[in-house]
A and B are shown apart, each in its own frame.
Chain A
Amino acid sequence: MSTPLLSIHNLHVSVADREVLRGIDLALPAGEVHAIMGPNGSGKSSLSHALAGKPGYAVTAGSVDYLGRDLLSLPPEQRARQGLFLGFQYPVEIPGVNNAYLLRAALNAARRARGQGEIDAFDFLGLVKERMALMKMDESFLSRGVNEGFSGGEKKRNEILQMLVLEPRVAVLDETDSGLDIDALKMVAGGINSVRSPERAILLVTHYQRLLDHVQPDRVHVLARGRIVKSGGPELARELEQRGYDWLLDEAA
């Protein structure tokens, strides 16, 4: 196995003095898709936020190695520019700022960090339109405000579109499947599958099995009370679908 793109060692995180992650160990090798599953309140979103560096998530112990760097020492914008992408569970609205503008600013921030020049406006438009076609999004969407007045499904598709354009090394997708109807779910899954590559790794955070019917994970980890209580192959997700989480919680207790 190659060196992992992301490896988490004994990660402890507190929010407002309450410990939400209590010693996470996880290695995410290049080319793989791992699913993080678990009941509500198990720490799934906390893990996503802590990796992205959200203010208020205090790391009390442990370390995270990302592309050979100490991830936790980087401010959130540096993590993003180095190719760590978080697909938000609840993407926020930014009224009056158009989608294309934010996306181009984001892409240019990453390009500058890589020592590349800013992308030409014409090339940018070409790239975005190509990626939008993948997500079956209408072009009018580019001039709309960021997530402004979007339906739940549109917001999630927008997150995936951003991922397709930014081409991250590690994508953490936080409950990207929640609130989607079956057509939107397939579209989102298609977007995720299209970015699978030997240079990239994806962490899928999800409550349900159903996304995993469309995106086959290499590994599945079950999170409960801030710890990974079980890891396995794709069959673990199916077992959870049938048996629920309770038996694991009992085992972990």
Chain B
Amino acid sequence: MTQDARLESVLGRGYQHGFVTDIESDTLPPGLDEETVRFISAKKQEPQFLLDWRLRALERWLAMKEPHWARVNYPPIDYQAISYYSAPKVRTDAPQSLSEVDPKLLATYEKLGVPLHERARLAGVAVDAVFDSVSVATTFKERLAAAGVIFCPISEAVRTHPQLVEQYLGTVVPYGDNFFAALNSAVFTDGSFVYVPPGVRCPMELSTYFRINAAKTGQFERTLIIADQGSHVSYLEGCTAPMRDENQLHAAVVELVALDDAQIKYSTVQNWYPGDEHGRGGIYNFVTKRGECRGRNAKISWTQVETGSAITWKYPSCVLRGENSVGEFYSVAVTSNYQQADTGTKMIHLGANTRSTIISKGISAGHAQNTYRGLVAVMPGATGARNFTQCDSLLIGADCGAHTVPYLETKNPQAVVEHEASTSKISEEQLFYCLQRGLSEEDAVNLIVSGFCRTVLRELPMEFAVEAQNLLAVSLEGAVG
């Protein structure tokens, strides 16, 4: 059988099972109350403990107010106007082939070097079973299973490994942590679950790319990653190509748990739809990400490249509970046009000799506003704690803004905390120097920006770093001149 024929038979099988009709009946009308939560939980065939937990989260959320301390502005969100369950977003009005997709979007994919079949998937082309990816995913699952690593949708883990989920879910980000986390806890529909057993070094980078359905899990994703004693795992989140999405609100929660001597590296490239050049549309991205170094010598490292979303509200944090544990945060946040980003991290030092590093690079162009907001807290028990923070901002043009808001709480006199900050502009001299060497203005800006971000980009896994660099270039297109 030829590959095309096999592909057709795979696709044909899918439709025989009546996907489309099933899905239509799976969409809830807008609104959120106890019934909504019960419906979601039932759909997911969840155990009782999870339903109870969701209901407690809902009760808490109903009593909470949306926070407004971040330096972002947006019209009020009507939470009762959102539909909280519209399972796999296979839309009947989805484009049927690449020829029906917005050519502007395709041009961007091409610049990013996204493979053709992947472009189709990203653009939301209805034909979703891509033969190559299916076979890749299968090999991938076999290798992970051999190593004892559990990597599956969290909705599946709830049924297949309920004891692990019950033991860890909400232990890093409790359901009442904040408004958006409470909302997520009540209504999350899917996300990733990872468990790496003691002493295991995960044999490959884990990425949602390989979990075919993961990219379409909707607006309330929940991810839980547990690295047991002495294990290592590197997780790549997101997709480097811009995703058009009709949803306005994304409120995800990510929890990481690292036990004794375990290491988790979590890399994100976020490029949700940022809205158009006039500031219309775009995703509101309100995300709670937190990792806990629960054991001795544990290490959690966050690396993020944020170029998308109309609004980004995100503070990937580390709770350094175990002695000698290490937290790292490397961030590039790019805002252009009318984008707003308020992002940073929290490093909470609880254990003795805990160390943290924060490197934040903010880039603003157009009318964008970019804020770094970070907390370094050293608790009384954290003798010998050390932190190094470096926040650099780069401005492109005269109408944008960069703001740095560092908070520092030290309750242990022996802690060593260092903070460096800088704000610079791409200088005329730098631009002219590059032009005089024959580079176009756009290439010159990209070169200067990637140099500015270098200390962060080099933290990304190799294959991601190249894409991230291309992404920076696309994000800043037309930012100068």
Residues of A near B434 (CB, < 8 A) are 94, 102
Q: B39: CB under 8 A from chain A?
A: no
CB within 8 A of B438: which of A54, A101, A113? A113
Point out the residues of chain A lying under 8 angstroms from B428, CB to CB. 55
Residue B19 CB within 8 A of the other chain? no
Task: Tell whether, in the assembled complex, residue B436 and residue A76 are in contact, meaning their CB atoms are under 8 Å apart.
Answer: yes
A81 interface residue per 8 A CB criterion: yes
Q: When the two chains form the complex, which single residue of B439, B448, B451 contacts A77, counting CB atoms closer than 8 Å?
A: B439
**In the bound complex, how far is the Cα of B453 from the Cα of A54, in angstroms?**
27
Q: Interface centre among A52, A76, A86, A91, by most B CB within 10 Å?
A: A76
**CB pair B429 A110 closer than 8 Å:** no
With most chain B CB atoms within 10 A of its CB, the pick from A54, A81, A94, A102 is A94
Docked CA distance A166–B432 (Å): 17
Q: Which has the most chain A C-beta neighbours within 10 Å: B435, B436, B448?
A: B436
Known: A92-B429, A92-B430. A77 touches B438 (CB 8 A): yes
Docked complex: A119-150 residues within 8 A CB-CB of B: 145-146
Nearest to A79 among chain B residues (CB) is: B436
Q: Is A106 positioned at the interface, with any CB of B under 8 Å from its CB?
A: yes
B432 and A76 contacting across the interface, CB-CB below 8 Å: yes
Is the pair B432, A102 in contact by a Cβ cutoff of 8 Å?
Answer: no
Residues of chain B within 8 A of A52, CB atoms compared: 432, 436
Contact of A109 among B430, B437, B441, B450 (CB under 8 A): B437
Q: Does A105 belong to the interface (CB within 8 Å)? A: yes
Interface contact B451-A96, CB-CB below 8 Å: yes
Bound complex: CA of A231 vs CA of B182, how far in Å? 81
Contact residues in A for B437 (Cβ distance below 8 Å): 80, 102-103, 105-106, 109, 162, 166
Nearest chain B CB to A78 CB, angstrom units: 8
- Evaluate contact between A95 and B452: CB separation under 8 angstroms: yes
Instruction: Say whether A80 contacts B435, CB under 8 Å.
Output: yes
Q: Give the chain A neighbours of B455 by CB distance below 8 A.
A: 96
Closest to B438 in A: A109
8 Å CB contact of B435 from A76, A85, A101, A166: A76
Q: Report the minimal beta-carbon distance from A104 to chain B, rounded to whole angstroms.
A: 11
Cβ of B441 to closest chain A Cβ, rounded Å? 7
User: Residues of B contacting A105 with CB < 8 Å?
Assistant: 437-439, 443, 447
Within 8 A of A (CB), among B424-475: 427-430, 432-441, 443, 447-448, 450-455
Give B432's nearest chain A residue, CB to CB: A54
Contacts of B451 in A (CB 8 A): 94-97, 145-146
Within residues 66 to 114 of chain A, which ones have a CB less than 8 A from any CB in chain B?
75-77, 79-81, 85-86, 88, 91-92, 94-97, 101-103, 105-106, 109-110, 113
Interface residues of B in 320-373 (CB under 8 A from A): none
| Interchain CA distance A225-B429 in the complex, whole Å | 25
B110 to chain A, nearest CB (A): 18
Measured CB to CB, the closest approach of chain A to B89, in angstroms, equals: 39
Contacts of A91 in B (CB 8 A): 433
Chain A residue numbers with a CB within 8 Å of B454 are 96-97
Taking CB atoms and an 8 Å cut-off, the chain A residues in 36-72 that contact chain B are 52-55
Contacts of A146 in B (CB 8 A): 451
Can you list 6 A-B contacts (CB < 8 A)? A53-B435, A80-B435, A86-B436, A91-B433, A102-B437, A109-B439
Q: Which 4 A-B pairs have the closest CB atoms?
A: A96-B451, A97-B451, A109-B438, A96-B454
Known A-B contacts: A52-B436, A162-B437. Give 12 more (CB < 8 A). A85-B436, A92-B430, A92-B433, A94-B430, A94-B447, A94-B448, A95-B452, A97-B447, A102-B434, A103-B437, A105-B443, A109-B437
